[in-house]
Amino acid sequence: MTRFALTVEFDGRPFMGWQRQAHGPSVQQAIEDAAQSVLGHAVTLHCAGRTDAGVHGLGMRAHLETDKVIAPFRLMEALNGLLRPQPVAILGCEIVADDWHARFSCIGRRYEYHIVNRRAPLTLEKGLAWRVVQPLDARAMHESAQRLVGLHDFTTFRSVHCQSESPVKTLDQLDVEREGDRVIIHAAARSFLHHQVRSMVGCLALVGQGKWSADDLEAALEAQDRAALGLNAPPDGLYFIEATYPTD
């Protein structure tokens, strides 16, 4: 058996999320169906991190196995041909060691969240960013965000449906920057809880609007209670940027 690692880009708008669902289309299903057509047998695709409905990916990593002899470039080209016109693209394909695992070998994950801070409706980016009408103070958001960096119990920022064994995570980075009318939040950690990034972004938006202070954000964290969450941002602006591995 040969194990292939894939780098995947996708627009999350038409999908119920990454993971195969019984009630709607998923990114996993789209790639698995294409791979079955190419390889002539069913495959199971493993990914670095599941994403919710409406969340996008610029550099998701995944792997599959096959006993068919095929060059990585040919597999990538065949998958892309069959994936059209769905908004999923295989950006890279390589043979990896049998013990390499897209999820369990991953030592870091990075996300971005994009906010468009303007009154005018979104046209080209509808579903690809979160429009916030009220002016946002990106500096205050960034300074407050540093209260969340480090090792914490993130229960407040964790979905009630999260399946992680522990709410304790180490957040390595949470930076906020403004580029014109765009506010971008950069988040990095070894792993994240379900809805953690969206929940942190929602509360930072409250800080940016002057509705919360940095102390309010820290109090929500220390409450370790989902009921203390101020706001969960929509999935539209969330992007899985990259997964890192020991050999990168």
Fold of the CATH domain 108-243: Alpha-Beta Plaits (3.30.70)
Comma-separated ranges of CATH 3.30.70.580 domains in the chain:
2-96
Q: What 3-state DSSP class applies to 139?
A: helix
Number of residues that make up the chain: 248
Q: In whole angstroms, give the CA distance from residue 207 to residue 35.
A: 45
179 Cβ contact partners less than 8 Å away, ≥ 6 residues apart = none
Fold of the CATH domain 2-96: Alpha-Beta Plaits (3.30.70)
Q: Is 70 exposed, middle or buried (0-12, 13-18, 19+ CB in 10 A)?
A: middle
226 Cβ contact partners less than 8 Å away, ≥ 6 residues apart = 155, 156, 158, 159, 160
Catalytic-residue membership of 52: yes
pLDDT digits (tens, 9 = 90+) for 90-100: 999 999 999 99
Is there a cis peptide before residue 121, judged by omega within 30 degrees of 0? no
Confidence band (pLDDT; 50, 70, 90) for 21?
Answer: confident
Give the Cα-Cα-Cα angle 228, 233, 235 (nearest 5 degrees).
140
**Which of the residues 11, 33, 52, 216 is marked catalytic?**
52
pLDDT digits (tens, 9 = 90+) for 175-209: 999 999 999 999 999 999 999 999 999 999 999 99
Buried b (16+ CB within 10 A) or exposed e, 101-133: bbeebbebbbbbbbbbbeeeeeeeeebbbbbbe
Say whether pLDDT at 248 is over 80: no
Say whether pLDDT at 154 is over 90: yes
Q: In whole angstroms, give the CA distance from residue 148 to residue 229.
A: 14
What whole-number percentage of the chain has pLDDT above 90?
A: 94
Say whether pLDDT at 168 is over 70: yes
Comma-separated ranges of CATH 3.30.70.660 domains in the chain:
108-243
Q: In whole angstroms, give the CA distance from residue 152 to residue 122.
A: 36
What is the predicted pLDDT for the residue at 41? 96
Angle between helices 27-39 and 72-83 (to 10 degrees): 120
Give the Cα-Cα-Cα angle 79, 81, 84 (nearest 5 degrees).
105
Six-digit token string for 22: 């019984």
pLDDT, mean over the chain: 96
pTM: 0.95
pLDDT digits (tens, 9 = 90+) for 70-93: 999 999 999 999 999 999 999 999
pLDDT digits (tens, 9 = 90+) for 110-151: 999 999 999 999 999 999 999 999 999 999 999 999 999 999
